[in-house]
Amino acid sequence: MDWYPLWNSLRIAAASCIIVFFTGIFAAYYVAKLPRAVKGLLDVVFTLPMVLPPTVCGYFLLILFGVKRPLGMFLARFGIQFAMTWYGGILASAVVAFPLMYRTARGAFESFDTTLAYSGQTLGLSNTYIFWRIRMPACRQGILAGTVLAFARALGEYGATSMLIGYIPGRTATISTTVYQLWRTDNEQSAFFWVLVNLAISAVILLFVNMLESKNRKAGNV
C-alpha cells in the first residue's frame, strides 16, 4: 500500500494551516479596527475564496503562478515553482482555507471585552503583551475552532489543488486527487479505502470541534 497520498495530504494541510493561522489572525485583528466601508470591502476580498468554486480559485492561481506566466517565470529564477509541485498544494489549500480562519478569528475578536485591553494599557502593558497574553487567551476557543476547521478544509481540498498541482503519483498526489484518479480508472476498491481514511480523519476533526463548542458553552454558563 502506497501511503504517500496520506502523508502528502497531512503535510500540505499542516503547512497551510500554520500559514492561515497567522495571516488569518493578523487580517482579522486589523480589519476589525478599520472603518465600516473599508472593512466591508476587505471582507468581500478575504471571504471570496469561500464562495467561489475551488476550481475557479485554482484557475486564478494558475494564471498567477503558471510556469509560463510572468510571476511564475520570475519565481522560477529562484528555483520556486508552485505549478505541479507538492508545495504548490500548500498555496492552493491556504487560499481556500484562509476565509474560515479569518471569519472565525474576526468573530472572536469582535466579541472580546475591550475593557480588558484598556485596563492593560492603564497598567502600562504594551499592545503586543496585551494581544498575546490577554486578547488571544480570551479568544482561544474561537481561534482554536477556526484553526481546526481550516486544517479540515485544507485536508479535504480538491478543486484548487487539482488545478494547480494536478495528480502525479509519489509527487503531488493527495487523498482527494487519489480518490478521483482511482475511481476514474475503475479501481473502486482502492478508492473506497481512501474514502474511509478521509472519513475517519474528518470524523475525528468534527468531534474535536464539537468538544470545543461544548466546552465554550459550559464556560459561558459559568
Q: Give the DSSP H/E element, type plus range, for residue 5.
A: helix 4-31
- Reported as a pLDDT band with limits 50, 70 and 90, residue 118 is confident
- Residue 189 or 34, more confident: 189
- Taking the C-alpha atoms of residue 48 and residue 134, their distance in angstroms, rounded to an integer, is 31
| Digit-coded pLDDT (tens) for 153-186 | 999 899 999 999 999 999 999 999 999 999 999 9
Do 160 and 99 meet the contact criterion of CB atoms below 8 Å apart?
Answer: no
Number of Cα atoms under 13 Å in the Cβ half of residue 149 = 21
Q: How far apart are the first and last CA of the chain?
A: 50
Contacts of 53 (CB under 8 A, 6+ apart): 159
DSSP 123: T
| Digit-coded pLDDT (tens) for 55-99 | 999 999 999 998 888 888 899 888 889 999 999 999 999 999 999
Q: What does the block give as the cell for 172?
A: 503531488
- Reported as a pLDDT band with limits 50, 70 and 90, residue 139 is confident
